Homo-oligomer: A and B are copies of this chain.
Amino acid sequence: MVWTSGWRLASAVSNAGGLGLIGSGSMYPEILKMHIQKCREATDKPFGVNIPLIYPYAEKHMELIVKEGVSIVFTSAGNPDSWTPYLKSHQITVVHVVSGSRQAVKSENAGVDAIVAEGFEAGGHNGREETTTMVLIPAVCHAVSKPVIAAGGIGSGRAMLAAFALGAEGVQIGSRFAASIEGSAHPLFKQAIVDAGEGDTLLTLKKLLPVRMLKNAFFKLVQQGENQGASETELLELLGKARAKKGMFDGQLDEGELEIGQVSALIRDILPASDILRNIWEEFCTVKKQLSLLK
């Protein structure tokens, strides 16, 4: 949730009954500090911070988390051994994001409290095994005993219920909230999410770190390079710096990298976070009741 989930969205989600997360992977430490403080002013409910472990400021962010008294941290894109003991020693709840069972077992052994299992359909950075939510959730639930939170393809009550049927005890919802009123992404990017249909995202840059993005002009350049067998160095050069900021925050829809999940095909409006949560909950309850009546 780089460039999309600041204090406004996180506090709105927490106030509406979810667990709001600040996405710190696009923030300098001073900016993260401001978001934590503003989030605390805006809600008296719990909220968390997501820290991608490959991010250059991960260490600074960890210090800040402890100093600011944040009680819940979601770590991703890295080794759960590297920071879980530190966070646990400060009584912080730790959830690690994985894309496969091996990493889930490793996370459990590292002492995390719960695991997010994120399928291939999710936006942004993703695993190399390409396991979809439908297969990943039962696999991870079979491999670990800690609670599993499903992610990838989930933006509705139906999908939440499907995740529960597969064995998850919670869901992590990204793309749907990227298209919220309180999300910090550029309005043009939010509209691009609403406009996206099936097949409009693809997992790409697999020779670097695979990332799912909208198929815009920048994507097409990457794809052209890959089809012609471009090397890692050539792809890194093409990628350049700050592509995600350019697309998602500055709204340069052609030049930027637009990270979003496949579920964008099902998102048809930009709503307040509280409406999104209520719609999901109501659909979840309605469909759960319908299913229970099936013969």
Contact = CB atoms under 8 A, between A and B. Distances in A.
Contacts of A121: 120, 131-132, 134-135
B134 A198 contact: no
Contacts of A138: 156, 158-159, 266
A132 B132 contact: yes
Nearest to A226: B229
A13 interface: no
Interface residue range, chain A? 35 or more
A100 interface: yes
B199 A131 contact: yes
A120 B139 CA distance: 17
A92 interface: no
Interface stretch (A2-10, A55-63, A284-292): A284-292
Contact of A119 (B131, B134, B162, B203): B134
B134 A152 contact: yes
A17 B152 CA distance: 33
B152 A265 contact: no
Contacts of A120: 120-121, 132
Interface in A80-132: 100-102, 119-121, 128-132
A116 to B, nearest CB: 15
Contact of A162 (B162, B207, B228, B289): B162
A222 interface: no
A135 B263 contact: yes
Contact of A158 (B128, B131, B166): B166
A158 B229 CA distance: 41
A181 to B, nearest CB: 23
17 contacts: A119-B134, A120-B132, A130-B199, A131-B265, A132-B262, A134-B152, A135-B262, A139-B198, A142-B266, A162-B162, A162-B163, A162-B165, A164-B291, A207-B227, A229-B229, A289-B292, A291-B292
Q: Across chains A and B, which 10 residue pairs bring their CB atoms closest together, nearest first?
A: A229-B229, A129-B199, A134-B153, A292-B292, A162-B162, A161-B165, A132-B132, A162-B165, A121-B132, A135-B262
Interface of A: 100-102, 119-121, 128-136, 138-139, 142, 152-154, 156, 158-159, 161-167, 198-199, 202-203, 207, 227-229, 262-263, 265-266, 287-289, 291-292, 294
